[in-house]
Every structure is written in C-alpha cells, then in structure tokens.
C-alpha cells in the first residue's frame, strides 16, 4: 500500500483520506455531537461533508509531501524505499552508503518537519482538556477518552520527534560512536 501511495495522484489520496475521515466522523459524531445529532441522517450528512472537506485539503498536501520526500531520497525501488525507511527510523545503522545516505536524508527531512516544543504544548493542552472533562463533566466520558487519546498521540509524537533527532545524529556518524 505504501508503495502505491508514494506514486498516487492527489485526487486518489483525497478520496482515501476523505473516506477514512468520514468513517471516523460517522463513529464519533453520535458520541461527541450536540443534542439530537445522533440521528442517522445527521450522522450521514456530517460524515460526508467533513470527509469531502478533509479529503480536499489532505489529498494535495499528502501528494506534495510524498513528492518532497521523493525529491529528498531520490529514485528508489519499492524494496530499497522500505529498507531506507526502516533504516531512517530503527535498527542497526547501515554500513552501505547506498542505504545510509538516503536514510539520513529521509530522517533529516522528517525531523525538520517536527517541532517538539509545539507537539509537547499540544499534548499538555489535550491532557488539560481531558482532565477538565473528567473533573467538571464526569458524565461526558466520551470527550474525556477522546481528549486523553489525543494527548497520548501527541506525547507519542513528541517522543518520535526526539528519537528522530537522535537517529539523525547516529546516521551522520555512520554507526561510529564517538565518546
């Protein structure tokens, strides 16, 4: 799937992102929506409209990101792309420069797109919202769980950003650890 998405046109990515977002909204809207918004027609309309809007925005953005990443790592076969992607994130540092150099470029590109301070601030904000719902509106369990889950996701992204910066340092050293 990843190999297909790397080369997919923007409109395909729009349809895919819009479909997934509409499915999530169809599940979440009856839980977090206002008043009598859990009627099937209201859920259907909200899911379709939000999916269309989200897809229209995310499709071109995703296509631009894939194109930007392809420009950074250069032309790679699907197997090499998987190997480079894995090496950019985890595992032993490759000794082969044909893998290590694109892995370093990919890790650097990904690290440049993350801002740990902003991610941490969002994680704390989501956690504060979850705690606020838990304390002030204990009957709104769904919102508490939703904001708690979002907080956990942001904390994971914070950890990911820090780990990615460390991985860039290791890839620059080429596996040689200097003390």
Give the residue, 17 or 144, on which the prediction is more confident: 17
Residue 102: which H helix or E strand, with range? helix 97-112
Tell me what pLDDT residue 178 has: 53
Q: Tell me: the pLDDT tens digits for 124-172?
A: 999 999 999 889 988 888 888 889 999 999 999 999 999 999 999 999 9
Tell me what pLDDT residue 121 has: 94
Residue 179: pLDDT over 50: no
Percentage, residues of the chain above pLDDT 90? 62
Residue 1: pLDDT over 60: no
Residue 100: pLDDT over 50: yes
**What contacts 67, CB < 8 A, 6 or more positions away?**
none
Q: φ and ψ at 50, to 5 degrees? A: -65, -35
CA atoms within 13 A on the CB side of 110: 24
Tell me what pLDDT residue 5 has: 85
Domain ranges of the chain: 1-73, 74-179
Look at residue 80 and give its three-state secondary structure: helix
pTM of the full predicted structure? 0.78
Q: Tell me: the pLDDT tens digits for 24-35?
A: 989 888 877 776
């Amino acid at each position: 799937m990843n190999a297909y998405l790397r080369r997919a046109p923007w409109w395909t990515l729009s349809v895919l992102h819009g479909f997934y977002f509409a499915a999530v909204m169809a599940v979440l809207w009856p839980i977090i929506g206002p008043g009598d918004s859990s009627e099937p027609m209201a859920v259907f309309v909200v899911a379709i409209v939000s999916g269309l809007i989200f897809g229209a925005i995310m499709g071109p953005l995703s296509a631009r990101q894939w194109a930007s990443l392809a420009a950074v790592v250069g032309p790679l076969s699907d197997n090499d792309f998987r190997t480079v992607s894995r090496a950019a994130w985890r595992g032993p540092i490759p000794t082969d420069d044909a893998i290590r150099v694109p892995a370093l470029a990919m890790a650097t590109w990904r690290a440049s797109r993350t801002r740990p301070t902003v991610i941490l601030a969002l994680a704390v904000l989501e956690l504060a919202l979850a705690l606020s719902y838990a304390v002030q509106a204990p009957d709104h369990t769904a919102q508490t769980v939703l904001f708690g889950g979002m907080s956990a996701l942001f904390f994971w992204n914070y950890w990911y950003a820090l780990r990615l910066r460390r991985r860039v340092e290791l890839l620059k050293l080429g596996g040689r650890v200097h003390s």
